[in-house]
């Protein structure tokens, strides 16, 4: 029984793209009031030369723009939330796209009644206050390019 499990696990590993990475530097700080959230994280990655990493954060936004990938038509639809919201969770990864650091992040936001909204973080989300932890990794480069199956820029 355990032999079967082992061989099943090794078969799966062949089909899943996984790279071994090691934690490198960790940064912790606050972002600028009024700046674009996605652009500011991207700029930080460029400044710190982070090509492989992760980001997480909490705080608040003045307004938000989040994406939902419509799989039927294979394109993003954007939701604009033109009011103040809490960032209950921001999580993302950093890899390379077109040879530059690219931040892929998702965000969950809540309103004054505690209702939550979430999606793919897009440009147009303005920071009220945001505390982040940004971590870089050492390891092989991960590059995004067009994936025929999904229509998304994935790690290929």
Task: Indicate the residue whose CB is closest to Zn ion.
Answer: 120
What is the nearest approach in angstroms of Zn ion to the Cβ of residue 91? 10
Q: By CB under 5 A, how many residues form the interface with Zn ion? A: 1
Site string for Zn ion, 73-112 (x = CB under 5 A): ----------------------------------------
Shortest distance, position 76 Cβ to Zn ion, whole Å: 9
CA distance 8 to 139: 27
Residue-wise burial string across 125-139, b where 16 or more C-beta atoms lie within 10 A, e elsewhere: bebbebebebbbbee
By CB under 5 A, the residues from 108 to 147 that bind Zn ion are 120
How far is Cα 135 from Cα 53, in angstroms, rounded to an integer? 5
CB closer to Zn ion, 54 vs 120: 120
Nearer to Zn ion, 7 or 68 (CB): 68
Name the E strands within the chain: 22-30, 53-70, 75-81, 85-97, 100-110, 116-121, 126-138, 143-146, 153-155
Rule CB under 5 A: say whether 51 interacts with Zn ion: no
CB of residue 120 to Zn ion, shortest distance in Å = 3
Rounded CA-CA distance 128/86 in Å is 9
| Closer by beta carbon to Zn ion, 65 or else 120 | 120
**What distance in Å separates the CA atoms of residue 56 and residue 117, rounded to the nearest whole number?**
17
CB of 69 vs Zn ion, minimal distance in Å: 7
- Which residues of this chain interact with Zn ion, rule CB under 5 A? 120
């Amino acid at each position: 029984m355990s032999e079967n499990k082992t061989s099943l696990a090794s078969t799966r590993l062949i089909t899943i793209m996984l790279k071994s990475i090691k934690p490198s530097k960790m940064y912790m700080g606050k972002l600028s009031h009024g700046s674009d959230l996605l652009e500011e994280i991207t700029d930080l990655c460029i400044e710190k030369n982070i090509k492989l990493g992760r980001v997480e954060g909490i705080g608040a936004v003045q307004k938000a723009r989040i994406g939902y990938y419509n799989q039927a038509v294979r394109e993003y639809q954007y939701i604009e939330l033109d009011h103040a919201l809490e960032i209950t969770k921001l999580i993302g990864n950093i890899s390379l796209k077109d040879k530059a650091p690219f931040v892929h992040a998702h965000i969950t936001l809540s309103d004054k009644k505690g209702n939550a909204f979430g999606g793919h973080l897009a440009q147009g989300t303005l920071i009220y206050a945001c505390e982040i932890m940004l971590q870089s990794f050492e390891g092989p480069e991960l590059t995004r390019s067009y994936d025929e199956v999904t229509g998304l820029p994935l790690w290929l």
